[in-house]
Structures are given as C-alpha cells and as structure tokens.
A = this chain, B = another copy of it.
C-alpha cells in the first residue's frame, strides 16, 4: 500500500466538499495554495463559470482531474427520456473538454426523484432495468469519445431518490453484462461512505480488479448521522476503517487519486483553508 504519510501527492478534492465556500475558480486557487494536484468538479460548478474558462483555468493551474461529477439520473418516465439521454451526452462532452479520466454515474432511483416531473412509481425493478438500458446507450456515445463511465453504487439509504444501484456486486454485475470483455469503457467509482458496511466488500473489490476500479472516494460515516445526505464525516471522525478499503483497492493495482468527497453542513460552514488543511492532515494520517 502506498505511504501517504509524507505528502499529499495522491489527494484529490471533490469540489462538492467546499461548494458553499466559493466558486470553481476560488476552489482551484485554494487547491493551488495547498499544493493539491487534482480535483473532481461538479457540472453545476463548471457551468457557473463556463466550460471553456473552467478548462483553461484547470490547465493553467496544472490540475489533474480524478473524475467528473456527474452523469446518470437515468430513471424517468417516457416524456423525460430524451432529456436524460441528451443531458448525459453533454456530460461526456464536458468531461472530454476538461480532460477527465471518467464520468461518475449516479444512476437515479425512482423516476419522480431522479427526473422531477416524471410520473411517480414504486417499481424499483423497472428502475433498475431502465438504468441498465440507459447505461448501455450512454456507453455507445462515451466509447466514441473514449470516455470511461464509472458506476457509483450508492448507499441503500439513497435507493429511492438517488441510485437504485446500491452494492459493489450489483454495479459489477452490470459491468459484466454490458462490458463482459472488460474493455475499460465501464467500471465503478467506489466511495467508502456507500460501501463500508457491506460484508462482501473486499471480495467484490477483488472481483473488480484494477481495470474496473476507476475512482476511489473517501469520507467517513458519523454516528449518529443527523442528516442522511449532508452529514458525512471528515476521514477519521467516524467509524469507517478507511485504510482497510484502500489497502484492498491498491492490492488490485489501483494507483489513482484518493478523492475526498464530503457533503456536510458542518464542513460547508468552515473557511476553505481550514477544510483543506484538515483534509490534507487526515489524508496523511487516516486515509
């Protein structure tokens, strides 16, 4: 396993972690101040400053990307299907323009939450079928752009409203069905927050192998969790044995960034320099 104790060469910042503290330009500046060498930006943050300006600023700052957040939200009623498809194609185009290594997919839950305005449904098997069909369709477009897609299994607490792919096994089953040849076009983005509880986790990481481990995210699970979406913890403040998961992905040959993604009302209220200093400290000591 790589030794992170001496530097933060392999720290990437998911820009949602400080999305309240500034726009993407300010976040990039802050990363430069702290010697952070990679980020994973969100589409709304890119859109707010403009795609070309974002791409240029990233290049000028010498920042790499560890992913692009996010594509997906595939589940919709028939009336919203084309909108979802086109939206995801734009995500691929943007990721390409920014030089991202992959588009992270949050696949969507029930259609009324994923694509608001869609007819309400309780049919989660139908949602799953729609997700798989839509990923297959998106892959055709993404392949032409040589843009890998990374399915992110989300914690089962988000099954209804954000993603009906909720375990690493389920995500890898989709990879097997849609890219049995392991071409690299499809893989997974694993976030310890979503998967730490899973008795099958280490076995499924091994099943994924280097070729399908496209991204690795860290934060922590707090007890109690006050808000299921926005009370994620800074690494070390919760109950996840983060290092055991990193050890497993690196044992498969993963040598990419450890991306810090924290949705937290608490951390959003702190000054950006304090957040980044803490991220760097925890990256070196507990990730």
A113 at the binding interface (Cβ < 8 Å):
yes
A197 contacts which chain B residues (CB < 8 A)?
A: 124, 156, 159-160, 164, 166
The number of times this chain is found in the oligomer is 2
- Given known A164-B197, A197-B164, A198-B166, contact A124–B159 (CB-CB < 8 A): no
A157 contacts which chain B residues (CB < 8 A)?
A: 155-157, 225, 228
Q: From the candidates B161, B166, B170, B239, name the one contacting A224 in the complex (CB within 8 A).
A: B161
**Which residues 106-158 of A sit at the B interface, judged by CB distance below 8 A?**
110, 113, 122-124, 128, 155-157
Q: From the candidates B161, B198, B238, name the one contacting A223 in the complex (CB within 8 A).
A: B161
Distance, CA A221 to CA B156, complexed state (A): 12
A167 at the binding interface (Cβ < 8 Å):
yes
Q: From the candidates B123, B161, B225, B240, name the one contacting A122 in the complex (CB within 8 A).
A: B240
A113 contacts which chain B residues (CB < 8 A)?
A: 223
Q: Is the CB of A241 within 8 A of B123?
A: yes
Task: Give chain A's interface residues, CB within 8 Å of chain B.
Answer: 110, 113, 122-124, 128, 155-157, 159-161, 164, 166-167, 170, 196-199, 221, 223-225, 228, 238-241
A155 contacts which chain B residues (CB < 8 A)?
A: 156-157
Q: Which residue of chain B is the closest to A157 with respect to CB atoms?
A: B157
Distance, CA A240 to CA B228, complexed state (A): 18
Q: Which residue of chain B is the closest to A120 with respect to CB atoms?
A: B239
